[in-house]
Chains A and B, each alone.
Chain A
Amino acid sequence: DQQVKQNSPSLSVQEGRISILNCDYTNSMFDYFLWYKKYPAEGPTFLISISSIKDKNEDGRFTVFLNKSAKHLSLHIVPSQPGDSAVYFCAASAGNQGGKLIFGQGTELSVKP
């Protein structure tokens, strides 16, 4: 059972435009959500997170939106840059699971100059 789903395996965006990466989850007990960025042959790096008590968190070019009723979160990157090209994973955790993260399958973002 895939509790965290990223239904788009890939996304291609023009430099300077907005990139929107989506993530859906099924477990209503999830209360913390994170986005990670991963380059090939490297470990994921933490990008941004959001608690379930918020619906938006912004950090520079990156904004995460959370819609609890729809069990959906998204990551917006504005403006997109070629260096943003990577695989993006969303992850979720529940307070009663000791900090374990459940990851989606990832979306490969390609930002074209």
Chain B
Amino acid sequence: SQTIHQWPATLVQPVGSPLSLECTVEGTSNPNLYWYRQAAGRGLQLLFYSVGIGQISSEVPQNLSASRPQDRQFILSSKKLLLSDSGFYLCAWSVGGALYEQYFGPGTRLTVT
């Protein structure tokens, strides 16, 4: 069966520090991968998605970047965090096209102080 891992579970970082969040998927090949953010009291906002190694699409301009160095690895990064980057970050995967469900990881709670 497929599983998705995210780490760390929680993170407290000062403003201006770098960020690296990692997501890996097991049990499937060539998944579509996604990064979402849920700000406090808000819905889920799609940040990045990837349909293959090295292929990244950005949905919103922001202080973040994403990379996919391996088929089942998706990394979310920032060179300098802002206070507004605080939130709950979720990685998700799917296979196939539009008519397939996305499955989410446990999330990372990021607090920028």
Contact = CB atoms under 8 A, between A and B. Distances in A.
Q: Do A and B bind each other?
A: yes
Interface of A: 6, 31-32, 34, 36, 41-46, 49, 51, 89, 91, 93-106
Contact of B98 (A42, A43, A95): A95
A97 B43 contact: no
Interface string B19-40: 0000000000000101010000
A34 B98 contact: no
Interface stretch (B64-72, B73-81, B99-107): B99-107
Nearest to A34: B101
A55 to B, nearest CB: 17
B49 to A, nearest CB: 6
Main SS of the interface on chain B? strand
A36 B90 CA distance: 14
Given A43-B104, A44-B104, A98 B90 contact: no
Contacts of B42: 105
Interface residues of B, number: 29
B99 A43 contact: no
29 contacts: A31-B99, A36-B104, A41-B88, A41-B107, A42-B106, A43-B90, A43-B104, A43-B105, A43-B106, A43-B107, A46-B103, A89-B43, A91-B44, A95-B97, A95-B98, A96-B98, A97-B98, A98-B32, A98-B51, A98-B97, A99-B96, A100-B34, A100-B49, A101-B34, A103-B43, A103-B44, A103-B45, A104-B43, A105-B42
Contacts of B105: 43
